[in-house]
Amino acid sequence: MSDSALYLTDAYLREFDSRVVRSSPGEVVLESTAFYPQGGGQPFDQGSLLYGDGRRFNVEAVEKSEGGIVHRGSGEAPGPGSQVRGVLDWSRRYAHMRYHTCLHILSGVVFRNFGSVITGGQIYQDRARMDLSLPDLSRERMEEVLLEMNRVVEEDHPIHVRFLSRAEAERDPTLVRVARELLPNLETIRLIDIEGFDVQADGGTHVRSTREVGRVTLQKFENKGSKNKRLYLTVEPAAPSSSGSGS
């Protein structure tokens, strides 16, 4: 786990203070950051770095590199050693969190019922897509999956982040739902634990409880070959959660 990646332990951190490690026109690397870099099907965060006497660097894209997490954007980049205040576009981040947790609920349901693994996925602000290795998922069976997903949402399961060594994680094959070739080469594996329902390896940001996801609806269902099924899901506005909402 990287100490510089604040989003790994606190997905609800909307603002944070940090120091510039290095910068160049259009690029800034910070000592620590809450901005999520694109990866694992989850888009990058956007927002601003505020510094000096009212100056602003607009963060328009974030990505990982060998030298750290790079914030790309427009405006004058703060120089090395500058103290900055990072401010996330919270509506964008929170939408990604809700849809990411939605996909984990889907993954948990189909893994329990069919033993299916994930072959791909993508999160957007207004929908999410998941590809499943499941040759016999009919539209009728998908409606049953949706009913179970929405039951899990309504049960308001708390969601926690845990960490295991790679060796420990690999001893439990149920923790890794993506195809093995999609698993990053990491020594420490981060787990998303939907209490009482599902635990799986994941590096993205999630809500604190399943009720924050909101009611799930199937937008589109596609056959992508003899074994792969592609599902597009949308969610309605979240109901208040006893576990606390970030919205």
In tens digits, the chain (247 residues) has pLDDT values of 567 999 999 999 999 999 999 999 999 999 999 999 999 899 999 999 999 999 999 999 999 998 899 999 999 999 999 999 999 999 999 999 999 999 999 999 998 888 887 888 999 999 999 998 887 778 888 899 999 999 999 999 999 999 988 778 777 767 765 545 445 566 788 899 999 999 988 999 999 999 999 999 999 888 877 778 899 999 997 554 444 444 4
Q: Is residue 62 a contact partner of residue 44, using CB atoms and an 8 Å limit?
A: yes
List, edge to edge, every strand of the sheet that includes 188-194: 159-165, 188-194, 198-201
Q: How far apart are CA 35 and CA 8, in angstroms?
A: 10
The count of residues in the chain is 247
Q: Is residue 61 a contact partner of residue 72, using CB atoms and an 8 Å limit?
A: yes
Q: How far apart are CA 214 and CA 239, in angstroms?
A: 6
Q: What is the pLDDT of residue 63?
A: 97
Q: What is the pLDDT of residue 137?
A: 78
Structural domains present in the chain: 7-88 (2.40.30.130), 93-235 (3.30.980.10)
How far is C-alpha 197 from the geometric centre of its chain's CA atoms? 18
Structure tokens at 188: 């420490």
Q: What is the pLDDT of residue 33?
A: 98
Q: What is the pLDDT of residue 43?
A: 98
Report the candidate in 55, 50, 44, 48 with the shortest Cα–Cα distance to residue 5. Answer: 44
Cα four-point dihedral sign 150, 155, 156, 158: negative
Please report the DSSP string for 54-119 in residue order: TEEEEEEEEEEETTEEEEEEESPPPPTT-EEEEEE-HHHHHHHHHHHHHHHHHHHHHHHHH---EE
Sequence-ordered list of residues with C-beta below 8 angstroms from that of 186, at least 6 positions apart, any chain: 166
* pTM to 2 decimal places: 0.90
Report the candidate in 105, 70, 72 with the shortest Cα–Cα distance to residue 210. Answer: 105
